[in-house]
Structure 1
């Protein structure tokens, strides 16, 4: 376990938009917007992705830069809020759709990630994504400007290197891609680890927080972590029953339904793909078993 001095970022619900048009004048949502959440914490949204940053009298800390386009929009906006530079950039995990664009802040920032994310980034070809300068294995405590933040690794889930950012003073957790709020899993879960994911969510449920901020979609609460864990468990059980009954993939995709989740976002189009992903995963695990 490592520790460094830092102050962290992230979001809370319900807030003031500081760079959005007045609601009555909007015909569509802007591609980029900043929302002030607390005295020091801001939410940054770029299209369908979200990250956060904290402005302190010792510098700015941001989470995922998202993309080069997003980062280049954000950098001059930060200068409107503070004269202090970006001191830290925290990567939530190694996936390019969240961490590309970090080079925009490389003139002043130190980059942080889980150690396995650094390895994955180093093995890729991402010229606009600086390698992390600081990494950790299980947990890292960061303090800056009177704020305390915990970076925590809860195991494999949507990736093998996702960290969560816990902000104890705000009872808030920032988690990217593996705890969607009332939304099914992304498509066929091709990069995921379903059994580990369930165990990871159980670890998250042991953390002390009230507000859950994901990297996409609406803000939730701790209960949503439990709900999504139950969704994965129900999906796994239904697909395992289909496999036991020697049901083929296409038949399983047509017949398996979890009606208790039909109101969740993307159920109609992504749920059959979730079935496919879980079917593939359980089939491969069954073949590998001695």
Structure 2
């Protein structure tokens, strides 16, 4: 059985939780907020001998104790990285931090490398795919430094204990997949997950390249796979993911070739075989609409079925490292923030916090079943591509809102439908991206 360590979900419990060694003795924090329904702030799970998954709210990363020291993937955020460092020390108190690896450049996964470096007192090398280097250098975000070394197709670390593979464009153009041969274990972020619909309208997903990337993943001989979001899976999980996207493409392609509009396609392509998948009610229609836009932009229905969607369209996504999605699990451009604070407030409480100059004031309007409020630019410079996400204690993510630039001193309205969700607490954050040069 995998060993786990968890913390409380509030800011107070975060401090206490960092001192509590679960499964190793001692009692969990007894703060009054321990009874909240919010999920644990973080959790460390041993997924193979010497290999650990670290979860921070809704994001997962991985670190491995190798013969050359600890190799740590995605720091996630500044706040997460501080706890991540504590967990690495707890698990491997005598090991050096040998390397940091970015799965890709999206801020909600890669931010915080300097925190890890400072925690271990070393100038630890950072590895990433070569396509991540230029955008990160241009962004100049001190919390998200560029890699010190890059690779084009494959790279090995710790004498082959870890392999890095580039499988082509998928959720981004710089996605590195890790494989640990001794454990038959892979780590893949954002472009695959376990039985979950693609994020919203698939804006940053590169189709048809996605098919090749997932097929390439299946050529790696893993048996277990850890994802950047959600529970881990196996080879069958990836086969189901590939089948879903193929079925979505086929169904929407038929609709486009039949002359159906985007609205008509959204109403008719129900993907009912996947109604049990996570986010079916939230993202099924958006997936259909996104695929309709991609195929239409590629000329499907007009005799040209081989083109690609203009990835700049709509500018939405769960992890948007390319000016688009979690972009895509959201939208986080290079230099964007893309991280949750981790602090939850009660259902009826008002959120009022400032991050990177963006003051977000937000509250639930029960009458409208929506979170409503404002984002104010408290700086002397324009905040570019600002948008807002809300994360409920149930694990549901709301948003993000459409991107908007906010000039100095200005305030813009924010509204996110709550979708009738039943929850006890929630957290929110604005994301601010780098302005075009």
TM-score, normalization by structure 1: 0.88
Determine whether 1:156 maps to 2:169.
yes
Higher RCO structure (Cα 8 Å, ≥6 apart): 1
In structure 2, what is the equivalent of residue 65 of structure 1?
75
1:249 aligns to what? 262
- Partner deviation per Cα, 1:137-180 (whole Å, 9 max, x = no partner): 11112225xx6221011111111111110111111111001111
1:184 matches 2:162: no
- Tell me whether 37-46 or 225-234 shows the greater mean CA deviation: 37-46
Structure 1 residue 28, shift from structure 2 partner: 4.5
Answer yes or no: is 1:51 the counterpart of 2:64: no
- Give the corresponding residue for 1:261: 274
Structure 1 gap segments, 5+ residues each: 1-13
CA distance in 1, matches of 2:134, 2:152: 12
Runs ≥4 in structure 1, deviation > 3 angstroms?
18-22, 24-28, 287-290
Which residue number in structure 2 is paired with residue 234 of structure 1? 247
Displacement of 1:36: 2.3
Partner residue in 1 for 2:153: 138
Which residue of 2 is the match for residue 199 of structure 1?
Answer: 212
Is residue 227 of structure 2 the alignment partner of residue 217 of structure 1? no
- Alignment partner for residue 285 of structure 2, among 237, 261, 272? 272
Higher helix share: 1
Mark the structure with the bigger radius of gyration.
2
Find the counterpart in structure 2 of residue 15 from structure 1: 2
Unaligned runs of 5+ in 2: 8-21, 29-33, 308-437
Give the counterpart of 2:130 among 115, 137, 140.
115
Count the aligned residue pairs: 275
- TM norm structure 2: 0.59
Q: What SS does structure 2 have at the residue aligned with 1:18? A: strand
Q: 1:200-255: per-residue Cα shift (whole Å, max 9, x none)? A: 11111111111111111111101111111111111111111111121111121111
Q: Is the 8 A contact 1:194 1:232 kept in 2?
A: no
Would you say the 8 A contact 1:57–1:84 is kept in 2? no
Spell out, residue by residue over 1:2-21, the C-alpha distance to the aligned partner (whole angstroms, 9 max, x if none): xxxxxxxxxxxx51113456
Partner of 2:109: 98
CA RMSD of aligned residues (A): 2.3
Q: Is the 8 A contact 2:169 2:175 kept in 1?
A: yes
1:33 to 29, 43, 50: 43
Partner of 2:95: 84
Alpha-carbon distance in 2 for matches of 1:143, 1:73: 24
